[in-house]
């Protein structure tokens, strides 16, 4: 009978759907420390915010035989969730409070997300050095702790600077369940006197291995049953030889791997040291020994205490349902152990001052500050002027202008049947452009910690008043943008403007929906060095501004507040004019001014020769001129770059990083004879026109701030920018878009085809009436050149076949798949900071996308944004993009900064795009980019530009030095050739 009841219970549990109860503030800090990264209210107590969400859950089905577990994806619930459904699942979640010690890893919040779907209360996340001691931590909080999870992380377990208080936590909590993951597993091994050494066949990062384990046998003896309740069966329900993802350079070694009577810990799971990486490097480590016959400890346990460790990563998307089940087993054990030994719970007393708890609470703006108006230019069937011609005629001569250019956009681009919905999978449907035009337009320039101390600050230029002033009491661009977004509120609706052509001043407000997400707002870039403001930790670098290696013309970040902008729909061949006014001043006069701009701009568009994009004169390069060839100088020579790769390999072997995205810079100077008639072609915009032709990409952009030759600039003593960004990026960093009211269509977007079989149970408590946003990231890791004929085209069966073979080689590349998986797990971690726990998932894993010159391996990660988080919060949580840093992010950025000699990457490796007034956001990763700044002219008749191209690649344990150097040059090739063509064209 008990067995039948157990079976019925498990069947009932498998039918139930889960919910999460996330908390916005998930880390606790003492008064003496700065706010831990991405904690938005700076509270010292947890504030639980329950919310609704739409149902879609992957339910874990337990095989009662104990031999397997599998993921079953439930059908999408198309109706609002009933309260009793929500409550029934809530009652099934475990009544646990776990403490999650963060070792500054980039996968900690994947553990947090999984555990939050298992337990009623999310785990408390505490950085390992946030408190001086375990006693200090206990005195700072007020709740019972039922178990502790020690996260992965870089470094070694014997180093205090790597472990913080973790070893002390193990020592002082012998009767509290503890689970160590990776570095946490090594910490347990080290504390209990096992040996922690370099892996015998070298590091393994992002690769899968089958694991076998020692099962716990049932016994009818009452004493043994009691002991079993006090023993965690970590592998309950998992098959032997199940696959796990490994990220480690160190291993826990035992004198005799499977049995040792002198130690109080014992191994309970193993894998063979025979991944591709270990087989390649094994002979170097073992002088020709049998590299496949080495057992690696994958899990351990204490013989008396409830302390367990796993070397692999259960939270990785690659480990999937097996890892989730393991964490569930540990949580089940915590409940059992709590019931058998109630005194094991640790009570932590809170002694925070309640006044300080509300010190930095976000003040929510009631009502929107801005109102958005849109005029759609009717398409009467005649071709509309293409974006390049429009930008050249309307914006290219402005000092400050932007063009978010979907240069792969086409009239037959992919689109859902719903014409009013911009599909999240479409990368090329819309292009956006604007400049310093409207009465509300302003420019924000941020000179951050990579610049000289006397130049640092945030400067805002009000174009209407023609004044520039410094912002006081705001320390960085992230804080400034967040404050502005909070003050502005969310402008959810747009008002259509119908212009009466029979009257010069006639117009009418009409109801309108638009198919795009940009409703005016902030357009600009965050340079890579904004990491100084987003990666807060005890390891934050000291200010290097006094020894700055930054271009004085290039701000750390710059934005325009765009109140007058144009949007082009490539799919529909339609133009939209977007205007913004302040709600408080939406008088008849301000509307009339706005409508007059719309009328004038419409007339300008209609007067432009109606050419489709294919009719633009292309490629008439001035190759007859006897121009001197351009030479690109590497910032660090091939030998220096190769030495840096060797250092990366050493750091990876030592466990300091899993992956390091090393970069270099190529620089050249381009000089033209001054010719007023050819001003456009010899300006940076001329370069961009060539680049978008040579290397069209979905996230291309041209952006300029005060981009004038030095001889034409006004020096007024105020730090001013002078930079143009010519970007042909294929990579989306982040896209945050409103979740449409249509339940069915939204679920199709979010939970359509899933690229990985497992997703944890997830039901949100956000109400349908609250604004909900979807965030997406599309990291690229893995690049190979496309095959073309001698004429540069793909025509011919042989060329097509060879090109497909290259794409297939990329798809099967062990090295590239490992790189991609590492960054996918990193971005899942970053998004889990600002998304509802359990909602982050991977619709596409390691897909191949082909562009004009290269094949790329691209993955897609999505999640539901927590309702307390803004677009700026999402950017801050993920910046800089993991595909440009490596993992773990904080330690990797530290290492890279030293290797790159403190040289600022500038806009390269940062992100570029918009933050819209309706809460939406879209940012690319700035790669395949030329940064152009004015150079000192040799004479009044010469125009001179400095051009910098950033390029690099991810260094892993499998990287080959020569291959990495060639990949760096490959990634810069399309941009270099465009600069050469620019030089040839203008002589």
Nearest alpha carbon to residue 929 among 892, 974, 870: 974
Calpha distance 695→307 (Å, rounded): 55
Tokens of 831: 């998004």
Choosing from 119, 166, 182, 648, the catalytic residue is 182
What residue spans of 887-955 are helical by DSSP H?
A: 889-899
Query: CA-CA distances (angstroms) from residue 188 to 282, 614, 657, 788, 894?
Result: 26, 65, 20, 54, 27
**H-helix or E-strand containing 605?**
helix 588-607
Calpha distance 112→129 (Å, rounded): 18
Calpha distance 106→893 (Å, rounded): 12
Calpha distance 769→867 (Å, rounded): 11
Is residue 45 exposed (0-12), middle (13-18) or buried (19+ Cβ within 10 Å)? middle
Number of Cβ within 10 Å of residue 347's Cβ equals: 10
Bond preceding residue 888 cis, omega within 30 of 0: yes
Strand, coil or helix: 855:
strand
What residue has token string 């006397």?
Answer: 454
Choosing from 56, 313, 553, 841, the catalytic residue is 313
Please enumerate in sequence order all residues whose Cβ is within 8 A of that of 364, keeping only pairs 6 or more positions apart, or say none.
486
What are 69's strand-pairing partners? 62
Bond preceding residue 672 cis, omega within 30 of 0: no
Calpha distance 499→599 (Å, rounded): 7
Nearest alpha carbon to residue 253 among 234, 272, 266: 266
- Contact between 899 and 662 under an 8 Å Cβ cutoff? The reply is yes
- Contact between 695 and 975 under an 8 Å Cβ cutoff? The reply is yes
Is 50 a known active-site residue? no
Question: What are the DSSP calls for 305-343, one per residue?
Answer: SSEEEESS-TTSTTTTHHHHHHHHHHHHHHHHHHHH-GG
- Contact between 303 and 265 under an 8 Å Cβ cutoff? The reply is yes
Is 375 a known active-site residue? no
Is residue 790 exposed (0-12), middle (13-18) or buried (19+ Cβ within 10 Å)? exposed
Rg, Å, the chain Cα set? 29
Cα 213 from chain centroid (whole Å): 35
Is 898 a known active-site residue? no
Strand, coil or helix: 408:
coil
Number of Cβ within 10 Å of residue 158's Cβ equals: 13
Strand, coil or helix: 563:
coil
Please enumerate in sequence order all residues whose Cβ is within 8 A of that of 516, keeping only pairs 6 or more positions apart, or say none.
422, 429, 430, 432, 567, 569, 576
Calpha distance 864→770 (Å, rounded): 13
112-129 b/e with 16+ CB inside 10 Å = b? bbbbbbbbbbbbbbbbbb
Cα 578 from chain centroid (whole Å): 29
Choosing from 54, 315, 445, 656, the catalytic residue is 315
Pseudo-torsion of CA 721, 727, 730, 733, nearest 10°?
Answer: 0
Torsions phi, psi for 299 (to 5 deg): -160, 150
Nearest alpha carbon to residue 253 among 308, 210, 213, 193: 193
Pseudo-torsion of CA 446, 450, 453, 454, nearest 10°?
Answer: -50
**DSSP count for the chain of H helices, then E strands:** 24, 41
Strands 147-150 and 98-102 come out as parallel
Residues serving a catalytic function are 182, 313, 315
């Amino acid at each position: 009978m008990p067995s039948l009841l157990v079976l019925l219970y498990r069947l009932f549990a498998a039918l139930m759907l889960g919910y999460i109860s996330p908390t916005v503030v998930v880390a606790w800090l003492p008064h003496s420390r700065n706010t831990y990264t991405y904690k938005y209210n700076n509270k010292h107590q947890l504030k639980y915010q329950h919310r609704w969400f739409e149902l879609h859950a992957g339910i874990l089905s337990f095989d009662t035989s104990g031999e397997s577990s599998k993921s079953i994806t439930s059908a999408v619930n198309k109706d609002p969730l009933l309260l009793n459904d929500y409550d029934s699942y809530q009652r099934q979640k475990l009544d646990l409070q776990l403490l999650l010690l963060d070792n500054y890893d980039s996968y900690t919040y994947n553990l947090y997300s999984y555990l939050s779907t298992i337990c009623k209360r999310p785990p408390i996340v505490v950085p390992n050095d946030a408190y001086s001691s375990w006693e200090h931590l206990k005195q700072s909080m007020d709740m019972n702790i039922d178990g502790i999870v020690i996260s992965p992380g870089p470094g070694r377990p014997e180093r205090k600077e790597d472990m913080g208080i973790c070893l002390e936590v193990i020592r002082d909590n012998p009767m509290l369940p503890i689970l160590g993951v990776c570095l946490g597993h090594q910490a347990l091994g080290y504390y209990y006197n096992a040996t922690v050494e370099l892996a015998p066949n070298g590091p393994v990062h992002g690769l899968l291995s089958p694991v076998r384990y020692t099962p716990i046998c049932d016994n009818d003896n009452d004493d043994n049953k009691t002991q079993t309740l006090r023993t965690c069966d970590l592998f309950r329900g998992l098959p032997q030889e199940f696959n796990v993802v490994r990220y480690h350079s160190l291993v826990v070694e035992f004198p005799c791997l499977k049995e040792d009577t002198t130690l109080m810990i014992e191994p309970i799971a193993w894998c063979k040291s025979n991944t591709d990486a270990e087989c390649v490097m094994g002979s170097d480590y073992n002088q020709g020994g049998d590299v496949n016959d080495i057992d690696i400890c994958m899990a351990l346990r204490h013989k008396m205490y409830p302390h367990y460790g796993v070397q692999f990563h259960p939270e990785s998307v690659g480990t999937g349902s097996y890892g989730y089940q393991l964490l569930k087993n540990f949580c089940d054990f915590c409940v059992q152990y709590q019931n058998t030994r109630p005194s094991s719970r640790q009570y932590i007393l809170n002694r925070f001052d309640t006044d300080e708890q509300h010190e930095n609470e976000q003040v929510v703006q009631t009502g929107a500050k801005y109102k958005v108006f849109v005029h759609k230019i009717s398409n009467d069937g005649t071709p509309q002027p293409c974006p390049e011609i429009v930008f050249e005629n309307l914006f290219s001569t402005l000092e400050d202008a932007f063009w978010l250019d979907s240069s792969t956009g086409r009239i037959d681009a992919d689109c859902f049947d719903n014409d009013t919905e911009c599909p999240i999978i479409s990368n090329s449907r819309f292009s956006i452009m604007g400049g310093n035009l409207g009465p509300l337009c302003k420019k924000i320039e941020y000179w951050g910690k990579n610049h000289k101390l006397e130049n640092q600050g945030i400067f805002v230029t009000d174009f209407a008043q023609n004044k520039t002033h410094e912002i006081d009491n705001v320390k960085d661009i992230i804080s400034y943008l967040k404050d502005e977004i909070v003050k502005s509120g969310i402008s959810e609706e747009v008002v259509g403007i119908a212009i009466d052509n029979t009257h010069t001043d006639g117009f009418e407000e009409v109801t309108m929906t638009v198919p795009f997400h940009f409703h005016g707002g902030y357009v600009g870039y965050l340079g890579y060095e904004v990491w100084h403001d987003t990666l807060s930790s005890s390891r934050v670098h000291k200010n290097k501004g006094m020894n700055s290696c930054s271009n004085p013309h290039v701000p750390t970040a710059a934005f325009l507040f765009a109140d007058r902008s144009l949007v082009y729909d490539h799919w529909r061949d339609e133009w939209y004019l977007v205007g913004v006014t302040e709600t408080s001043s939406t008088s008849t006069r301000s509307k009339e001014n706005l409508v007059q701009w719309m009328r004038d701009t419409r007339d300008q568009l209609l007067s432009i020769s109606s050419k489709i994009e294919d009719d633009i004169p292309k490629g008439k390069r001035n190759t007859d001129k006897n121009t001197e060839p351009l030479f690109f100088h590497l910032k660090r020579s091939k030998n220096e770059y190769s030495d840096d790769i060797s250092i990366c390999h050493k750091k990876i072997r030592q466990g300091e990083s899993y992956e390091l995205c090393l970069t270099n810079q190529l620089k050249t100077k381009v000089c033209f004879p001054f010719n007023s008639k050819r001003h456009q072609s010899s300006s940076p915009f001329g370069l961009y026109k060539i680049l978008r032709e040579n290397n069209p990409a979905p996230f291309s952009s041209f952006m300029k701030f005060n981009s004038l030759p030095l001889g034409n600039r006004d020096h007024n003593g105020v730090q001013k920018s002078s930079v143009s960004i010519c970007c042909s990026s294929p990579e989306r960093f982040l896209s945050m878009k409103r979740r449409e009211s249509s339940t069915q269509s939204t679920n199709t977007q979010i939970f359509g085809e899933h690229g990985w079989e497992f997703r944890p149970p997830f039901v949100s408590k956000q109400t349908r009436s609250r604004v909900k946003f979807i965030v997406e990231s599309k990291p690229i890791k893995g690049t190979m050149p496309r095959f073309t004929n001698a004429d540069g085209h793909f025509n011919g069966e042989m060329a097509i076949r060879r090109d497909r073979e290259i794409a297939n080689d990329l798809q099967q590349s062990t090295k590239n798949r490992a790189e991609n998986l590492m960054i996918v797990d990193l971005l899942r971690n970053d998004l889990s900071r600002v998304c509802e726990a359990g909602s982050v998932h991977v619709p596409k894993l390691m897909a191949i996308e082909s562009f004009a010159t290269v094949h790329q391996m691209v993955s897609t990660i999505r999640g539901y944004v927590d309702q307390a988080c803004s677009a700026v919060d999402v950017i801050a949580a993920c910046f800089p993009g993991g595909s440009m840093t490596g993992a773990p992010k904080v330690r990797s950025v530290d290492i890279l900064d030293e290797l790159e000699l403190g040289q600022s990457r500038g806009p390269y490796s940062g992100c570029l795009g918009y933050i819209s007034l309706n809460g939406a956001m879209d940012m690319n990763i700035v790669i395949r980019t030329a940064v152009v700044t004015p150079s000192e002219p040799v004479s009044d008749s010469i125009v001179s530009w400095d051009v910098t191209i950033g390029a690099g690649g991810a260094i892993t344990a499998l990287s080959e030095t020569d291959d990495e150097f060639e990949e760096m040059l490959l990634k810069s090739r399309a941009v270099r050739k465009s600069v050469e063509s620019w030089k040839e064209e203008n002589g």
